Each structure stands twice: as C-alpha cells, then as structure tokens.
C-alpha cells in the first residue's frame, strides 16, 4: 500500500463550535437569544469584535472588526464583554466529550479541534456517524451547537466544517476531493490569508484548478517553503498528523486601553490584572513557569518587552508582582501607553515538579 493510499484512508473530523462566545452568552442569558449580539470591547473606544451572533452577521458584522464599525452596520447590536473563564470551562467540557471518543484530539482554540478517528470501530466505523454523535453529545451536555467536517486530511476537514454551518455536517470523500478543490476559491484554502490571496490573484490564480496548474517551482520561488504546501493542498495532499499533545511555549494575557495611560498606579493595577489572568490560564493547564515577560505598547504603536527568569518557578500570581514592579521600572516612559501584557514562559508540567505539587492548592 502506498503512502498516498494510506493517507487517503485516514478519517479526520474537524469540530467547530457555532459562534461560540456569542452562543454561550445567549445560552446563559435568555434575554439575548434571537438578538444581534457582539462579544467584544467598548464600541466607543478601541474595542474589537471577539464573536458575532448569527443574528448580527447578516448585517456584515464579523470577528476582528472594530466594535465601532459593528455598531455602524447594525445600530441595534447588543455588546457584552467576554467572560473567558466561562468559555474555557465550556471548552473543557467539550474536550472531555471528544476524548471519550478518541485520545487523538488536537485543539486549535477554545472552539475548534481536529480528531483522528481512523480505525475506530464504534458507530459502525463511520466517521460521519461519529461526527454527528459528537455534535449531539455537545448539544446535550452544553446546550450549544457545533458544525463538523469529515475528510481524509486536516485541510479538507476544516474546509468541510464551514460548508453546512451552523449546526451541520459535511463530508468530502477522496473521490469528491479533486472536483471540490478545483472549484474552491483560493481564499477558502486554510493557510492562504488575504495577503497571499492577493499575490496569487496577481499571478492569475483564483481557484484550486488555477493553483493546481501552477508549477511547484513557481510557487516555491514566490512563497518559499509555503509554496510547496500550496502546491500540495491544490492536489488534495496534506500529510499533517493530528497532534494530540501540543507543547505550550508560553501563556499570556494582554489588554488595550480605551484611552492611553500615563499614570503608574493605574498601569500597575492593570498589569497585575493581566498577570492574574495569565497565571490562572497556566494553572488550568497544570503548568508552571520560570520566566515572566512584561509587554508594553506605546501610543505610537511601538512596543517593548522586559523579562526575568527564576531558577525556581512562580508559585502564585502575587509572587510575580515584585518582578513585574522591577520590570516596569525598567520600561522607558517617553510616551503614553496603550497596551500592557504579561506572559509566562519556560514552562513545565506541574506534575513533573514533585516538591512543588502543592503550588496550586
């Protein structure tokens, strides 16, 4: 059996929650159901849309858009601030459901993940039945809907999960892949962003068929190593495995102010808040850290970082305050500050540090 045949016999599911943050808010607050809802920042400041309900998407509102622009598109929109601790808790419940099916789960974010179900005999060995079972379990235990894509590689499974959104399943089989890819706009290929799509259009490439006809050497010359990846996905080839163990290189939290700040006390208060959030994330991931980094972005959008590394680990959020104070004093203050952030790195699993197992108790 060739490698190509082996890869085409894989069964990959991509689960993508529907308007996750907004759906959680509508689940928890019945008065928000059926309403145009944005989870995000202040529409009168620099707030950004973190999630948009399907009711507001019909007005053109999308994630990453400014909240100010969202309100211009839909004056009736309701804004709520994100509750990330709640979203992380719901995401953990969803992960447990996934792991009850297979250990081969690769989370991409709080609201989406890949599963490799190759060789499973449950649900008659059908990846489609498994995907629908996952969606039903998620709905039963969380009250939220999810969409699923099923295919023989990660790229096609991810694209498929968007076809029948919301609350649907789509399948792309090996026999259907060539035709599907040929007609697919290049903007829909996972891994091709707006800037790359613009360059490809300038080369006369607008869909999968055009991309397939473009020699690999030309794509590599234009895009480097990514060019070979584009050539492969145009032919339906994506050998990337589902990685069930993802290494966390860092855990952090940052915030952008509505108005630029100059006051040291106000800045340190916000730095402590981001530190507490970052430490809580690390705690939930059962990690410990040796390094802390303070990030500052000035009003002119330039930024600076300062770090400190301990031989031991940070045993509480408060234990980092001393070092954050020192790092803050080392930050030049020639301009007002628009963003602060705190990141923990040089991470290790807490369970590996037996003398420090009680740090999170």
Provide the annotated binding site. 16, 111
Of 250, 248, 249, 264, the C-alpha closest to 296 is 264
The verdict on whether 361 is a catalytic residue reads no
Q: Is 355 helix (H, G, I), strand (E, B) or coil?
A: helix
Q: Pick the catalytic residue from 31, 112, 176, 245.
A: 112
For CA atoms 247, 249, 251, 256, give the dihedral sign: negative
Tell me the C-alpha distance between 127 and 120, whole Å. Answer: 9
Contact (Cβ atoms closer than 8 angstroms) between residue 115 and residue 15: yes
CB atoms within 10 A of CB 82: 15
Provide the annotated binding site for Mg(2+). 16, 111
Q: Phi and psi dihedrals of 156, rounded to 5?
A: -70, -35
Contact (Cβ atoms closer than 8 angstroms) between residue 127 and residue 117: yes
**Peptide bond preceding 166: is omega within 30 degrees of 0, i.e. cis?**
yes
Tell me the C-alpha distance between 60 and 316, whole Å. Answer: 43
Contact (Cβ atoms closer than 8 angstroms) between residue 36 and residue 76: yes
Q: How far is CA 31 from CA 36, 71, 180, in A?
A: 11, 19, 41
Q: Which two tokens stand for residue 76?
A: 């009736």
Catalytic residues: 112
């Amino acid at each position: 059996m060739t490698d190509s045949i082996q890869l085409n016999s894989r069964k990959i599911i991509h689960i993508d929650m529907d308007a996750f943050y907004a759906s959680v808010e509508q689940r928890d607050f019945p008065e928000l159901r059926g309403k145009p809802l944005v989870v995000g920042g202040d529409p009168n400041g620099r707030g950004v849309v973190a999630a948009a309900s399907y009711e507001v998407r019909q007005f053109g509102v999308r994630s990453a858009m400014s909240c100010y622009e969202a309100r211009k598109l839909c004056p009736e929109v309701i804004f709520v601030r994100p509750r990330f601790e709640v979203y992380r808790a719901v995401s953990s419940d969803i992960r447990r459901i996934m792991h009850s099916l297979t250990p081969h789960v690769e989370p991409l974010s709080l609201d989406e993940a890949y599963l490799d179900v190759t060789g499973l005999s449950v649900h008659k060995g059908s990846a489609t039945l498994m995907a629908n079972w996952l969606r039903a379990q998620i709905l039963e235990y969380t009250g939220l809907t999810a969409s699923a894509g099923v295919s023989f590689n990660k790229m096609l499974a991810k694209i498929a999960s968007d076809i029948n959104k919301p609350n649907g399943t789509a399948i792309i089989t090996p026999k259907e892949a060539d035709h599907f890819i040929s007609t697919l706009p290049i903007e829909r290929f996972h891994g091709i962003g707006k800037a790359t799509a613009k360059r490809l259009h300038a080369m006369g490439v607008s869909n999968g068929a055009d991309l397939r006809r473009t020699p690999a050497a030309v794509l590599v010359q234009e895009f480097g190593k990514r060019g070979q990846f584009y050539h492969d996905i145009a032919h339906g080839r994506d050998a990337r495995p589902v990685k069930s163990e993802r290494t966390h290189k860092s855990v952090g939290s940052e915030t952008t102010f509505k108005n630029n700040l100059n006051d040291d006390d106000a800045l340190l208060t916000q730095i402590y808040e981001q530190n507490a959030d970052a430490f809580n994330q690390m705690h939930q991931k059962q990690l410990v850290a040796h390094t802390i980094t303070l990030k500052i972005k000035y009003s002119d959008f330039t930024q600076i970082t300062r770090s400190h590394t301990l031989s031991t680990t940070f045993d509480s959020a408060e234990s980092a305050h001393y070092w954050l104070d020192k790092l803050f004093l080392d930050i030049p203050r020639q301009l007002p500050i628009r963003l602060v952030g705190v990141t923990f790195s040089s991470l290790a699993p807490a369970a590996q540090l037996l003398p420090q197992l009680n740090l999170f108790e």
